[in-house]
Amino acid sequence: MAGEVLDVDVAICGAGPVGLALAAHLARRGIDGKRIALIDGKSLGQAITDPRSIALSWGSVQLLEEVRAWPLPATPIHEIHVSRRGQLGRSLMDRAEHKLPALGYVARYGDVVDALARACDKAGVQTLRPARVDSFDEQADGVHLRLDDGRSVFAQVAVQAEGGVFGQQDSKAQQRDYGQTALIARVSVSEPIAHRAFERFTDEGPLALLPQDGGDGHQYALVWCMTPERATSIQMLDDDAFLVALGDAFGARLGKFTSASPRVAFPLGLNAEARATARTVAIGNAAQTLHPVAGQGLNLGLRDATVLARQFARGAGPEAVDAFMSERANDRRLTISLTDTMARAFIGGGPLQPLLGLSLAALDLVKPARLLLADLMMFGRR
């Protein structure tokens, strides 16, 4: 109702996977669902029909299990094959080395949202959707948020969990324009390798193929990074020509590419701005937008949500915000640095490229280094 003021402990702006995970973990740690408000501009129906593919690390699956949002429809990744196009050397990460059922899983965005939304619903979390935050006013004792439907929320703390305008931009934010565009699609191949994901570095940027069961086991989620000019020309191709170009870039490890869904493109950049005030804090994509290489963005955000829930369970206020920022600093710094270095090091030609290819071969031979890298990708800095 217009004019209504909802009083809560925590207001979460953004009901994507990270915002939903925060709400579910707060409820699991004893905060009454009625004291949690989730605000999102999309209806739940819109969110759960989102077909995008997302990669969940083994560590993220454990976090979903904690709030009973797992299992859900997903394809396990048993191996990750990393190589450099046109250079010797590759590295293979295998679940067997870690004694795990999978290194990670590939799921639909909508299925993850659906599982987490059901967990929040069971916990009695108050969800305000579709609704957007028009403005907010941080005060000494809380934050007053005004919604576009006339309602208001007064919270002890407010969390920006995805997108939108929330607070002031920090001029000291770590930012980088990679000069790249990512093409996203779902493709089929003639000779799949069961449960193996690929990260293929090319002169233009990384090309990732993630196994995704389409009923015949031949489907993969594609993330193909390239220059904006190249992306424009690739998007203009018909399906047959697109599949030929993709085959030229990736090679013949999976036979031929036989079909492709419509392609979607978006620009790539780094924007790491882990901002907070006394009673507001950003997590997930609102705090750090990463290059998709290694698929660490969502996994980093889910770790943000889990730690923030633990701190708020001790009392939602300035001390909890400060403790969260301190606890998350190392994992955020390492993950952002690792992702940024990988994104830049393998782009373009030049005399260092053969060395980078050989570094993958060395990584494959030095088991402790390979295990450490896989551990960081699955669990972050612990």
Enter the tokens of residue 132. 């957007």
Residue 5 CA to residue 152 CA, distance in Å, equals 5
Closest CA to 57 of 98, 14, 15, 117: 98
CB 201 within 8 A of CB 291: no
Helix (H, G, I), strand (E, B) or coil at 257: strand
Rounded alpha-carbon distances, angstroms, from residue 87 to 93, 101, 201, 202, 343: 19, 31, 10, 10, 17
All domains in the chain, ordered by first residue: 5-74+107-172+270-343 (3.50.50.60)
**How much is the pLDDT for 165?**
36
For the chain (length 382 residues), average pLDDT per consecutive 10?
81 97 98 97 93 92 97 95 73 89 94 98 96 93 94 96 52 69 94 93 87 81 93 95 96 95 89 87 90 83 96 96 95 85 66 55 56 65 58
Cis upstream peptide for 17 (omega within 30°): no
Helix (H, G, I), strand (E, B) or coil at 274: coil
Residue 271 CA to residue 254 CA, distance in Å, equals 34
**How much is the pLDDT for 168?**
39
CB 301 within 8 A of CB 163: no
Rounded alpha-carbon distances, angstroms, from residue 47 to 29, 130, 171, 187: 26, 11, 32, 23
Enter the tokens of residue 145. 């948020």
Phi-psi category of 205—alpha, beta or left, where left has phi over 0 and alpha has psi -120 to 50? Answer: left
Q: Report the run of H or E that residue 209 belongs to, with start and end.
A: strand 206-211
* Residue 170 DSSP label: P
Q: Residue ranges of the alpha helices (H) in the chain?
A: 17-28, 44-48, 58-66, 95-98, 109-122, 228-235, 239-250, 297-312, 318-345, 353-365, 367-379
Helix (H, G, I), strand (E, B) or coil at 286: helix
Which residues, at least 6 apart from 332, have a Cβ–Cβ distance to it below 8 Å? 272, 274, 287, 288, 300, 304
CB 50 within 8 A of CB 20: no
Rounded alpha-carbon distances, angstroms, from residue 72 to 106, 197, 217, 361: 10, 19, 18, 35
Strand partners, 363: none
**How much is the pLDDT for 339?**
81
* Residue 295 DSSP label: G
